[in-house]
A and B are shown apart, each in its own frame.
Chain A
């Protein structure tokens, strides 16, 4: 049977993907440019489709803590927001990471700092990949660059979150969230029953039965030695994630002399810039990190030995460029080009920046 095909906004794709991935609960708070996620869910009545709970909370503080409560029970739970709202959630995200709880947080990024603008941006890279809240922790961070990937990464993120008992983030932006593209929809995955959850998540607070000790979910341990052991265990987990879960895409990188490194909307701009470059006879490829944590360090390091320079294209003042530079270890030139405040750079500007900053620089 042919797969179901639908024209959707990126935000709507996230919502539909959540229902079909067997998500148990969505807890959110309205904020532009991602409010369509909850609007779509409310209109769809997922309670009737799968039994999924959808609740509009009184704040992002409440919604992320509702996610925490549900995650403690082994439920597949999520929230979505945009930059200022995600800043408010950082406390809760830190607790989720500290207590090793699986969940999905979608950030449809807008320009900042502060209230900033409602237009697309990529200036939350540091916040997403370096921790964001207090303490040493990491989020598994996926960066979609199409509406299809907005859809696909919901399931991927849930799978990774449960595999590692770690919060996962989809780091999107206002452009991907708002634009419409066709999406291939997968079949419905049934929600887990309580018995299935108990089997899959024996740590979950589902009610203490006589056959086991009580389950306690906490990130608190006042004993420094034990707290350090817990931190070491987390670091061990992040190492494992780094070794196993790096995802990326390369386009025209084989014989390239120069490389754009870009994710999300910036990567789409670069695709067009590749065409323009080809017409000019410039050998440039695109390296698109799909996981921002874990960052494709080794792949970029290996590539650096074969090319002359890298231009990092980001809709920010240059954040991912720090990770690229660490990977390249000073071997070749790495520069940044980007726009801020909600402006999307044009392919011509991107190519011009390559010519000026890397080729001619």
Chain B
């Protein structure tokens, strides 16, 4: 018997506690270390995998940091123009009602340039799922002010902090769309701790399950960090998110079974 364990001794079914998500490609993620996008990608793909829905799913990537989401998700995907993903999703689902259709969008994409498409797809009650990653900043273009940037928060286009008087208020679009009759399940989650990751995955699973039942639009917001845009270390960014983002964007279900959570 060998004195030391070899790799082959270790790689055994009974030893496996975690493995790479089946529907993530081998492409190395382009996201900054510590960014929530990677985890969120994985959760969406784990859910599609568990539903056995790879052959039945069409995803839509936005413009923003996750513009290359299609490089990492091993499913058929379309790349939308900035903000237009819900319009694409609307058509796909109307033309192919048996497919699972989701958009994956950031805050600039969904809550600024694409506000019209978001609100109207939600209000029509399109049977699609929207995964909304809100990090309060334009990450891809280098840290400009987003519709969700907090009051007083610094960005490259609000270098002295967001001044509400001249730059307007952050848009709580998730609360807004929860009030529309076309939405069925609206929730806000985070992926910065294992416990939150588990909750977020459950929410994503629920959103897709409900889509299969044609209940109307399902919407999962992930409040996330942007350590490079916020100019913080990943650990500090997560702490800042807990201290500043969560009080403004509280986690939890906002609408369940078509009813606002009291």
Residues of A whose CB lies within 8 Å of any CB of B are: 24-25, 27, 53, 55, 57-59, 61-63, 65-70, 72-73, 75, 77, 91-92, 95, 99, 194, 205-210, 214-220
- Taking the closest CB of chain B, its distance from the CB of A10, in whole angstroms, is 26
A-B contact count (CB 8 A): 122
Q: Which residues of A contact B76 (CB under 8 A)?
A: 205-208, 214-216
Q: With A72-B78, A194-B96, A214-B74 given, is the CB distance from A220 to B90 under 8 Å?
A: no
Contact check: which of A53, A61, A214, A216 meets B87 at CB < 8 Å? A61
Q: Is the CB of B84 within 8 A of A209?
A: no
Q: Is the CB of A25 within 8 A of B94?
A: yes
| Interface residues as binary, B69-88 with A (CB distance below 8 Å gives 1, 0 otherwise) | 01000111111110010011
Q: Is the CB of A91 within 8 A of B81?
A: yes
Q: Is the CB of B96 within 8 A of A73?
A: yes
Q: Which residues of A contact B80 (CB under 8 A)?
A: 65, 68-69
- Taking the closest CB of chain B, its distance from the CB of A85, in whole angstroms, is 15
Apart from A65-B91, A69-B89, A73-B58, 12 more pairs, CB < 8 Å = A25-B94, A61-B84, A61-B117, A63-B87, A68-B80, A72-B88, A73-B95, A77-B95, A207-B76, A208-B54, A214-B70, A216-B78
Residues of B whose CB lies within 8 Å of any CB of A are: 54-58, 60-61, 67-68, 70, 74-81, 84, 87-92, 94-96, 99, 116-117, 120
Q: Which residues of B contact A66 (CB under 8 A)?
A: 87-88, 90-91
Q: Is the CB of B94 within 8 A of A53?
A: yes
> How far is B23's CA from A208's CA once the two chains are assembled, in angstroms?
11
Q: Which residues of B contact A55 (CB under 8 A)?
A: 90-91, 94
Q: Is the CB of A69 within 8 A of B75?
A: no
Contact check: which of B74, B78, B91, B120 meets A77 at CB < 8 Å? B91
- Taking the closest CB of chain B, its distance from the CB of A279, in whole angstroms, is 54
**Closest residue of chain A to B101, judged by CB?**
A69
Q: Which residues of B contact A57 (CB under 8 A)?
A: 87, 120
Q: Which residues of B contact A209 (CB under 8 A)?
A: 55
- Taking the closest CB of chain B, its distance from the CB of A246, in whole angstroms, is 31
**Closest residue of chain B to A99, judged by CB?**
B79
Q: Which residues of B contact A77 (CB under 8 A)?
A: 91, 95
Q: Which residues of B contact A217 (CB under 8 A)?
A: 77-79
- Taking the closest CB of chain A, its distance from the CB of B139, in whole angstroms, is 16
Q: Is the CB of B84 within 8 A of A70?
A: no
Most chain B Cβ neighbours within 10 Å, of A58, A65, A77, A218: A65
Q: With A53-B95, A70-B95, A194-B96 given, is the CB distance from A216 to B77 under 8 Å?
A: yes
Q: Which residues of B contact A91 (CB under 8 A)?
A: 81
Q: Is the CB of B78 within 8 A of A218?
A: yes
Q: Is the CB of A218 within 8 A of B79?
A: yes
Q: Is the CB of A62 within 8 A of B78?
A: no
- Taking the closest CB of chain A, its distance from the CB of B90, in whole angstroms, is 6
> How far is B94's CA from A216's CA once the two chains are assembled, in angstroms?
20
> How far is B92's CA from A95's CA once the two chains are assembled, in angstroms?
17
Q: Is the CB of B95 within 8 A of A75?
A: yes
Can you sample 11 A-B contacts with CB below 8 Å?
A55-B91, A59-B116, A65-B117, A69-B87, A77-B91, A99-B79, A194-B96, A207-B99, A217-B77, A218-B70, A218-B79
> How far is B86's CA from A27's CA once the two chains are assembled, in angstroms?
14
Q: With A61-B84, A65-B117 given, is the CB distance from A205 to B90 under 8 Å?
A: no
Q: Is the CB of B94 within 8 A of A62?
A: no
> How far is B90's CA from A59's CA once the two chains are assembled, in angstroms?
13
Contact check: which of B57, B68, B84, B95 meets A68 at CB < 8 Å? B84
Q: Is the CB of B99 within 8 A of A62?
A: no
